[in-house]
Amino acid sequence: MKHLLKLSDCSKDEILDILNLADQLKYEQKHGIAHKRLEGQTLGMIFQKSSTRTRVSFETGMYQLGGQALFLSSRDLQIGRGEPAQDTARVLSRYLDGIMIRTFAQKEVEDLAEYGSIPIINGLTDYCHPCQILADLMTVREHKGALEGLKMCYIGDGNNMANSLIVGGLTVGMEVTIACPDSYQPDPQVLEFAKAYGDKFSMSENILEMAANADVVTTDVWASMGQEEEAAARRKVFEGYQINDAVMEAAKESAMVLHCLPAHREEEITAKVFEAHANEIFDEAENRLHAQKAVMVKLMEKK
């Protein structure tokens, strides 16, 4: 594995290797065991979309691994003033040991990987969110002891989260169901990917049917970053696409709840359900740190 661009590039074994290393690094951190595995290395962090969790987790992770991270907003880079991504990639490859980018177009991430000579990590695009889903899978395995055979239900917009949950969940042996409006389905490429898994994947507007007997229920905001002008219209479309008492009654009694955050209580999730499952949700948020450290070690550690 040279880059982390999207989860469909990863095999089941590669995903599980990342999760196993994340578990190890989390154990070492909790027990005060230093792991300076990227000592002297520098990660450039390109942000064309701002983020609390992505910036803090990558920056802290690099520090804990013995390296340093450079925050590069679009205002700081020529890429934000029209320089082609391929030129930025070739220049930054001469200075850095790796690049994490959080941006809009998936092509920009793919171009950095094609033209650069260092590992590229997708911190989020409009198409997918691989780092978040690695953290989600890590959290599910921590709480449930396994991934194979579990049912995960996602409720809401067929966005980058839905795309990556479908790919990541199916790849590691989970059943994945999606409850979303017909006009807001996941990306066609992802739905084509899911066809190979037969009845392990299903999608419907029927929320309770999709949530029935789920081991994991998850969601995301109705209007993602960059969609603020659509927020009012989206509230009407997504009304009812909410994790609430009815959904939790349809799911297994032992079902856990995940949310990638930030959460809009009483929209995609009720405050009652959120607070009842806050430990799981904030374990998920913490695991961004450990999963991303594992990704950086896998990609950047000098052999």
Q: How far is CA 117 from CA 10, 32, 93, in A?
A: 19, 34, 6
Active-site residue, 97 included: no
The residue from 97, 111, 215, 220 that is catalytic is 220
Say if CB 81 and CB 55 are below 8 A apart.
no
Q: Is 130 labelled a binding residue?
A: yes
The residue from 106, 132, 242, 292 that is catalytic is 132
Q: Is 261 labelled a binding residue?
A: yes
Say if CB 156 and CB 181 are below 8 A apart.
no
Rg (CA), the chain: 19
Q: Is 10 labelled a binding residue?
A: no
Q: Is 129 labelled a binding residue?
A: yes
What is the DSSP annotation of 129-170?
-HHHHHHHHHHHHHHHS--TT-EEEEES--SHHHHHHHHHHH
Q: Is 52 labelled a binding residue?
A: yes
Active-site residue, 132 included: yes
Active-site residue, 3 included: no
Angle, in degrees to the nearest 10, between helices 12-30 and 278-300: 110
Q: Is 65 labelled a binding residue?
A: no
Active-site residue, 189 included: no
Say if CB 105 and CB 126 are below 8 A apart.
yes
Q: Is 177 labelled a binding residue?
A: no
Q: Is 76 labelled a binding residue?
A: no
Q: Is 41 labelled a binding residue?
A: no
Q: Is 288 labelled a binding residue?
A: yes
**Long-range contacts of 194-201, Cβ-Cβ distance < 8 Å, separation of 24 or more:** 194/166, 194/170, 197/170, 200/170, 200/174, 200/175, 200/176, 201/166, 201/170, 201/175, 201/176, 201/177
Tell me the three state secondary structure of residue 99: strand
Q: Is 37 labelled a binding residue?
A: no
Q: Is 131 labelled a binding residue?
A: yes
The residue from 37, 141, 277, 288 that is catalytic is 288
Say if CB 59 and CB 45 are below 8 A apart.
yes
The residue from 37, 102, 141, 290 that is catalytic is 102
Q: Is 225 labelled a binding residue?
A: yes
Say if CB 47 and CB 102 are below 8 A apart.
yes
Say if CB 123 and CB 101 are below 8 A apart.
yes
Active-site residue, 13 included: no
Supply the DSSP symbol for 277: T
The residue from 97, 260, 290, 292 that is catalytic is 260
Q: For 207, how many CA atoms within 13 A lie in the half-sphere containing its CB?
A: 21
Residue with tokens 């998850």: 218
Active-site residue, 288 included: yes
Catalytic (active-site) positions: 102, 129, 132, 220, 260, 288
Annotated binding site for L-ornithine: 160, 220, 224-225
Binding residues for carbamoyl phosphate: 51-54, 78, 102, 129-132, 260-261, 288
Binding residues: 51-54, 78, 102, 129-132, 160, 220, 224-225, 260-261, 288
